[in-house]
Structures are given as structure tokens and as C-alpha cells.
Copies of this chain bind each other. A is one copy, B any other.
């Protein structure tokens, strides 16, 4: 269905009319000039992210539902990275004419799946038009007790450095999707030369997207459907571990370590052999002739948690499933160091994942 048929207000109604609020802190959701929230005796956390078509996502291989899911999840991840509990999101979308009501419904389905997973209410937003691509902006609001908030600036020079899950898989997933896109473009070109009837051509082009992800499903999932690590935060709480600094890994481990070291006034020393890397990530890097350590250091979008904790917690974190101790903080004058498998020291560069290839 054409969006113009419903109009802006009709579309918003269509997308939001059966959204139920689950948080007592949500006083009023969609439908007025503002959402109204109520927080008693806690701090409010606010984070925002903007996603642009062609820069942050490619609709050739990302469907609208996954896009909605990821858009919400990356913001939810920022709230966990502060030690908070996500409560509400507001969603702004700018759409060009090629999008249909069904596309928006799929996007909202994805949003809602992510929000339901973490008990987050969708409380407002703005739906508008765009001359070119799709633009998405999401703001997530959460809460935390003052003493539970984990800033980037609290690391001490003797703290351990830990990461959750594994690294580099989302970046390898992106490489895989890009490779399959190139295969698809080749097929499309062949079809365009062969088939003259525009309707038949369009049908055949639709059928031509048959990517081969065999044995690499994990990588694709990590790229398309990242998960915020609220479970890790909960585990740490339950074990009595109080991280001294924390961030989620969106730009890549190196880049995030630079932020934490800068704000905490420390250096760090991490070990190549301790970096958690999934088997599929290693295989894919091999296939693409890429250095898997570089992928783990600089590939972004894993949305795992990077945190530091006192050395006294060593026994706990060493034995915690899903957590890997990868090194320790140092005095600032030692800089940021990576110790390679053969024991050599390298300076850790924060090149960011976009400049990796």
C-alpha cells in the first residue's frame, strides 16, 4: 500500500495503535507533543544514534525488519554500556517515495521485537519524507541508580580488561554480505542483457538474490541482528563485580580502548592470544586473506561489552562464561600496547573499522 494513501498521521496510527506500554515510568507515549516519563529517585540516561542508507546499511541485503531490530538494539546497547536499564525509545524516520506501508510495518515489527526483548516502550517519534534514501534516528532513554552508573573514566592503572562474547564476527558478516551482493549484481547484469520484458525481468531479478551463507550463518546474524548484552551486565551484578569503566564495542576494540584510556588517564596492554574469536570468523578471514586479529581489533558493530574491573575480581571474571580477560590497564606513559602471539609489543592504533580495508 502507498504511504500517501494513509498520510502521515494515518501511517503513525497504523504503526503504533496497538503498542502497549510496559514500564511504570512511561506516563504517556505516542500521540502528543512530547512523551511523558516519570523517574523517581534515579538518574535518567539518554543516548541517540543516526543510521543513513548507504552508509550504515544497504537495503540490498538488509530487510526492513532486521533494520528495525538493529536500530533499536544499538541504542539499547548504549544504555547497558552505562550500567543502566533501557526503558523508552523515540523513533524518527525519513522515507523516500519508494517505501510502502508494508516496509514501515516490517521496520516497526523489528523495532518491537528488540524492544520487547528488553521491556522497552516506543513512546514517540517523527515520520517524515526524504528526497533520496532512508534515514533513521533513534533516541533511547533509560534509568540507573547513581551508584550503578559506569562511566568510561573510572578505570585504574591496575584494572583487568575484559570483553564479552567474541570479536570481529559482525565485520566478517559484512564482508560476506558484500561479496554475495557482488555475485547478485553480476546475475542482475546477465538478466538485464537476456530479458527484455520489464515485468519478467523484475521477477527474475527478485529471484536472483540467493546468497550462499552455508556454514557462515553466525557471521550474517552478528551483522544483521546484533544483541545488546544486558545479560552480561546482569551476570556481573549477580557476581558482585563492579566494572570501573565500560563501553559497548561499536567502532572496534582499539577505538573503544582509546576512549577508555583517554578518559581514565591510563594506558593498556592487551594480548593477541586472549582475543575471543569465533571459529567462523577465523575461517572467513582466512578465506578473504585478511588478518583475523586486525578484524577483531578494528572490526566494529559487535556490540559486545568492553569493561575494566579491579584485579581482585580476577577469579570471578576468569571463570565467568561469555567473558574473556584480554589484558590489563597500565600507567598512561606506557601507552596502548598489543602483545602479539610471539611476545612482541605493538602500539595499538585506533583506526576505526571504517578505514580497515
List the interface of chain A (C-beta within 8 A of B).
8, 27-28, 31-41, 43-50, 52-56, 78-79, 81-82, 84, 88, 90-94, 123-126, 128-133, 135, 137, 139, 141-142, 144, 146, 149, 151-153, 247-248, 263, 352
A56 touches B128 (CB 8 A): yes
Nearest B residue to A130 via CB reads B52
Q: How far apart are the CA atoms of A8 and B94 in the complex, in Å? A: 23
Nearest B residue to A152 via CB reads B32
> Which residues of B have CB within 8 Å of A39?
39, 44
> Which residues of B have CB within 8 Å of A43?
27, 36-38
> Which residues of B have CB within 8 Å of A52?
94, 128-131, 135
Shortest CB–CB separation between residue A257 and chain B, in angstroms?
13
Nearest B residue to A45 via CB reads B34
B33 touches A247 (CB 8 A): yes
> Which residues of B have CB within 8 Å of A49?
92, 126
A54 touches B131 (CB 8 A): yes
Apart from A33-B79, A55-B131: 16 A-B pairs, beta carbons within 8 A: A31-B152, A32-B151, A33-B47, A33-B82, A34-B82, A35-B47, A36-B149, A37-B45, A47-B124, A48-B126, A50-B128, A52-B130, A53-B131, A55-B94, A55-B129, A132-B133
11 example contacts (A-B, Cβ-Cβ < 8 A) are as follows A31-B152, A33-B152, A34-B47, A35-B46, A36-B144, A46-B139, A49-B92, A52-B130, A52-B131, A130-B135, A131-B132
Shortest CB–CB separation between residue A73 and chain B, in angstroms?
14
